[in-house]
Amino acid sequence: MSTERRAPLDRRRVAGTALKLLNEVGLDRLTLRAIAKELDVKAPALYWHFKDKQALLDEMATEIFRRMTDGVEPGPDDTWQERLLRSNRVLRRTLLAYRDGAKVFSGTRFTGLEHAEQQEDNLRLLTSAGLTLVQAARALQTTFLYTLGFVAEEQGVEPVPGERREGFDVEARARLMAGHPLAAEAGRAFFGDYDAHFEEGLALIITGIETRYGVR
């Protein structure tokens, strides 16, 4: 038996194993029984730590956040625009590292307070630029939800980079929708060049924040 398997069973170890298994089987096939098998324990042992799968997902999302921010310091001279760009780029990159990463992150509740320090720093930066606290909260939440939703849709087409789901062939879609030429051509924008698509959408939102709230 390996050293890893002899290590004490705790919430972070279970969550880490679950994230590893997630990349192999996807969220729908990720079960407490499968995780227990990977850890070489009986399934009931996991219920000492997690009452159900949702509780496990909460811990998995928290572990993703820890890994996302571990050793990453915000730029001390960031403008608020640069901070929103930086943090959402890192979020997208992190979620894409896990099959169904956006689904895991969506609707979950962090189990610790690791996120509070980052949130406090971001809110301080935005309010110092002239936004009210409510406006700053809206700016953070809107860009976060954009990124989360974008990655969820991106992973619906490409579960992991380089793996494309059947039914999302852009050329085949265009032929099928030949009677609707604009919609057919738009498929190239909808289902391709995700990096450029993401960056443009995020820039649109930041420009909207500047215009709506009158801050630069």
Q: Does 93 score more than 70 pLDDT?
A: yes
Q: CATH code at 87?
A: 1.10.357.10
Q: Quote the Cα angle for 55-74-101, to 5°.
A: 30
Q: For the residues 2-18, what does the mean pLDDT come to? A: 76
d(CA 17, CA 4): 10
Q: Does 4 score more than 70 pLDDT?
A: no
Phi-psi category of 170—alpha, beta or left, where left has phi over 0 and alpha has psi -120 to 50?
alpha
Report residue 7's pLDDT band, with 50, 70 and 90 as the boundaries: low
Domain extent for 146: 3-213
Q: Does 6 score more than 60 pLDDT?
A: no
Residue 163 β-bridge partners: 160
Domains of the chain: total? 1
Tokens matching residue 18: 């679950």
pTM: predicted TM-score of the whole model, two decimal places: 0.88
Report residue 73's pLDDT band, with 50, 70 and 90 as the boundaries: confident
**CA dihedral of residues 182, 188, 191, 195 (deg, nearest 10):** -130
Amino acid (one-letter) located at 205: I
pLDDT for residue 2: 44
Mean pLDDT of the chain: 90
Model confidence pLDDT, tens digit, residues 94-138: 999 999 999 999 989 999 898 999 999 999 999 999 999 999 999
Q: Is residue 163 classed as helix, strand or coil in its secondary structure?
A: strand
Task: Note the Cα 128 to chain centre separation in Å.
Answer: 27
Q: For the residues 187-213, what does the mean pLDDT come to? A: 94
pLDDT for residue 183: 93
Which of these, 195, 25, 26, lies nearest to 101 by C-alpha position? 26
Q: Does 5 score more than 60 pLDDT?
A: no
Question: Among 21-35, 52-66, 133-147, which range has the highest average pLDDT?
Answer: 133-147
pLDDT for residue 51: 87
d(CA 128, CA 122): 10
d(CA 57, CA 54): 5
pLDDT for residue 110: 93
d(CA 33, CA 41): 9
